Amino acid sequence: MDILVCVKQVPDTAEIKIDPVTNTLIRAGVPSIVNPFDKNALEAAVQLKEAHGGSVTVISMGPDQAKAALKECLSVGADKAVLISDRLFGGSDTLATSYILATAIKKLGKFDLVLCGKQAIDGDTGQVGPEIAEHLGIAQLTFIAKIEVSGEKITVQREHDEGYEVIEAKLPVVCTVIKSINEPRYANIKSKMAANKAVIEVITAADLPEIDLTKIGLKGSPTKVKKTFTPPRKESGIRIQEGTGRESALKFIEKLVVAKLLNRGC
């Protein structure tokens, strides 16, 4: 199966410092890394390739320095890496970004599966993956913790707070993956050296003649950021799951008593 993985180069947030005066992030000098969830997406792709054969292509939209991220992907199992880069793409919001990525994906060929991370650790919107699916006109499976493929059929585990859903779909689809799907491998010294020497293909706006220039860049981006803030954390509840229903009920009563919501006497 032929798989395409979208990766974003992001600043290493573990290294980011806050400017004490302006209270904003100091991005200068911060090393860039491959978005961690995208590493999981790539690892999932490489494992599927190892099991079913085929190829893994990675793409990234970004400036020239994003080639470093793509080389890292080559060193851990990607067969081909393409940078999508043009001044005209600068200033794109998620809608424009996903439109450009989808247009590039169509140009690169037919893929059975497109994998993205669940979100980028800097932008954090989690919108690009689902939007790519819409632009490509194919199904989307989000927050995926497990992927199995047999023939034309993909079966996934979709995680959410309450547990997971098992979903089946017909290929091709877009999947966005979460961290628990796998543990990304380390590069091999040999593959690392080969990747360092690799020449990365670049796709520019001129290579995508069918692209609608009104839908890209700052002008093609409808998003207006009014305010950014951290929403309050949701309080998590308590789950009581003892050996038997009776034990669970007793434990529940016990908790109510401790919380003084119930008197033991009654």
Partner 1 sequence: MGNILTAEQKELVEMVRNFAIKEVKPHVKELDESGEFPMELLKPAFEMGLHCLEIPEEYGGAGLDYQTTAAVFEELAKVDAGYAISLVTTFVALRSVIMAGNEAQKKLFADMIIPGAFASFCLTEPNSGSDASSMRASAVKDGDEYIINATKCFVTNGGVADVFVVFASTDKSKGVKGISAFIVERSRPGIVVGKHENKMGLRLSNTTDVAFVDVRVPADHLLGKEGTGFTTAMNTLNVSRAFVGTLAVGICQAAIDEAVKYAIERIQFKKPIGQFQAVQMILADMEIQTEAARQLVHHAMILMDDNKPVVKEGSITKAFCGDTVVKVTTDAVQIFGGYGVSKEYPVEKLMRDSKVFQIFEGTNQIQRIVIAKEMLK
Ligand X SMILES: Cc1cc2nc3c(=O)[nH]c(=O)nc-3n(C[C@H](O)[C@H](O)[C@H](O)COP(=O)(O)OP(=O)(O)OC[C@H]3O[C@@H](n4cnc5c(N)ncnc54)[C@H](O)[C@@H]3O)c2cc1C
Alpha carbon separation from 252 to 92, 240, 263, 265 (Å, rounded): 52, 7, 13, 16
Q: Of the two residues 208 and 262, which places its CB atom closer to ligand X in the complex?
A: 208
Q: Are 82 and 108 in contact (CB under 8 A)?
A: yes
C-alpha distances in Å from residue 138, one per residue of 11, 111, 159, 192, 193: 31, 11, 21, 34, 37
Closest among 153, 177, 163 to 43, alpha carbons compared: 177
Q: How far is the CB of 38 from partner 1 (least distance, A)?
A: 18
What is the closest distance, in whole angstroms, from the C-beta atom of residue 159 to partner 1 in the complex?
Answer: 24
Least CB distance from residue 260 to partner 1, whole Å?
A: 42
Query: Out of 18, 51, 166, 193, which residue is the one contacting partner 1 (CB under 8 A)?
Result: 193
Binding part of the chain for partner 1, among 128-136, 137-145, 172-180, 191-199 by CB under 8 A, reads: 191-199
Are the beta carbons of 2 and 11 closer than 8 angstroms? no
Beta-carbon contacts of residue 240 (< 8 Å; ≥ 6 apart): 248, 251, 252, 255
Report 111-130 residues binding ligand X (CB under 6 A).
116-117, 119-120, 122-129
- Residues 23-62, one symbol each (x = binds ligand X by CB under 6 A, - = not), give ------------x-xx--x-----------------xxxx
Footprint on this chain of partner 1 (rule: CB under 8 A): 185-190, 192-193, 196
Footprint on this chain of ligand X (rule: CB under 6 A): 6-8, 35, 37-38, 41, 59-62, 90-94, 97, 101, 116-117, 119-120, 122-129, 221, 223, 225
